[in-house]
Amino acid sequence: MGFWAELKKPFFVLAPMADVTDAAFRQMIAKYSRHGEEGGGPDVFWTEFVSADGLCSPGRDIIKRDLEFSDREHPIVAQIFGSTPEHMKKTAELIKSLGFDGIDINMGCPDKSIEKQGAGASMMKTPELAKECILATMEGAGGLPVSVKTRVGYNKENLDEWITTILETKPAVITVHARTRKELSLVPAQWDYVARAKKLAEGTGTLIIGNGDVQSLADGRDKAYATGADGVMVGRAIFGTPWFFDHNRTTLPTIREKFEILIEHTKLYEKLLGDIKNFAIMKKHYKAYVHGFDGAKDLRVKMMDAKNADEVEAIVREFLKEFGHIN
């Protein structure tokens, strides 16, 4: 179980989101959610998912950049995807050597390019291969706890059979996104599925994390208490709110404070990832940071045309001069 056995329940974890929970954003979350301090969080960080096939290819050095993390982010879990057991084993060996605290296998992503590789949500259609991949990852993990993030079914709910199949491999944790692959995120998450998964896991030692539509820490706690979930994974609600996991925070940052955080986030993204990722990826955060005040839409439009962090800062500072009354 590794570090999982030490967490106070219900614990809160950061969801792995492609082109979102990158090294820059995780560092912002660690800082503004006061990770490691009393009442701070999250309890566990997750990386973006990384291709096991890619990490076993000649292009591995660039892909490994997605696995960079800071000392402040422990415990941190590296999420991988793939459908070749040999590559999953080798990737687990690499992750172990990089100093991660755990490894997670994505078996729920509905992205078509991932599914074409037999990975992500496609693993639900090949349960025996899924088990092989989990066991191969465990073999390479060298004692690191291995977990699985998945959904409740592919085209239709198949929770009992699917979760039971995963449980046969004795993972440390199963994260249940309470929707099917077909539903994507287009319908409300049904946390009754999380409660069912928890019952299926009784006596196995495997922890169950619930995922889907968590709006706040209080909402997450309510969902955990109602379902018996050991932990809560937060995804979309973290957009534009790197302070989300601070349990002691009683007030939201002012608009001006949000602007300073936005600028800091943008500069950090450019510093850490500007040489390998398109600046447009950073822009997906701006709608979440910039909303709820007069002129927000026009400001976002200008920011979307910016080519780098300096231009973003100049646009924001000019806006503040023009709208000096905004706090």
Among 128, 167, 132, which Cα is nearest to 148's? Answer: 167
Q: What is the mean pLDDT of the chain?
A: 96
| % of residues, the chain, pLDDT over 70 | 99
Among 131, 134, 141, 81, which Cα is nearest to 106's? Answer: 81
Give yes or no for residue 326 having a pLDDT over 80.
no
Among 251, 241, 246, which Cα is nearest to 37's? Answer: 246
Give yes or no for residue 260 having a pLDDT over 90.
yes
Domains of the chain: total: 2
Q: Are residues 215 and 304 in the same domain?
A: no
Q: Is residue 246 part of a domain?
A: no
307 lies in which domain range? 255-322
Among 238, 267, 300, identify where a domain stops.
238
Full-model pTM? 0.94
Give yes or no for residue 312 having a pLDDT over 80.
yes
Q: Are residues 118 and 223 in the same domain?
A: yes
Among 188, 209, 238, identify where a domain stops.
238
Q: Do residues 169 and 131 make contact, with C-beta atoms less than 8 angstroms apart?
A: yes
Among 238, 264, 283, identify where a domain stops.
238
The conformational region for residue 143 under phi > 0 = left, psi -120 to 50 = alpha, else beta, is: left
Q: Are residues 83 and 190 in the same domain?
A: yes
Mean pLDDT is lowest, of 51-55, 91-95, 184-188, for 184-188
Per-residue pLDDT of 217-231, as tens digits, reads 999 999 999 999 999
Q: Is residue 249 part of a domain?
A: no
What is residue 325's predicted lDDT score, i.e. its pLDDT?
61
Q: Are residues 222 and 287 in the same domain?
A: no
Count CB-CB contacts under 10 A for residue 178. 26
Per-residue pLDDT of 122-163, as tens digits, reads 999 999 999 999 999 999 999 999 999 999 999 999 999 999
Q: Are residues 260 and 132 in the same domain?
A: no
Give yes or no for residue 209 having a pLDDT over 80.
yes
Give yes or no for residue 168 having a pLDDT over 90.
yes
192 falls in which pLDDT band (50, 70, 90)? very high
Question: Which DSSP symbol is given to 147?
Answer: E
Q: Is residue 293 part of a domain?
A: yes
Catalytic residue of the set 24, 55, 76, 109: 109
Annotation marks residue 133 as catalytic: no
Q: Are residues 111 and 196 in the same domain?
A: yes
Q: Is residue 186 part of a domain?
A: yes
Q: Are residues 292 and 232 in the same domain?
A: no
Q: Are residues 282 and 200 in the same domain?
A: no
Q: Are residues 225 and 272 in the same domain?
A: no
What is the arithmetic mean of pLDDT over 268-287?
A: 95
Q: Are residues 142 and 111 in the same domain?
A: yes
Q: Are residues 147 and 201 in the same domain?
A: yes
What is residue 186's predicted lDDT score, i.e. its pLDDT?
87
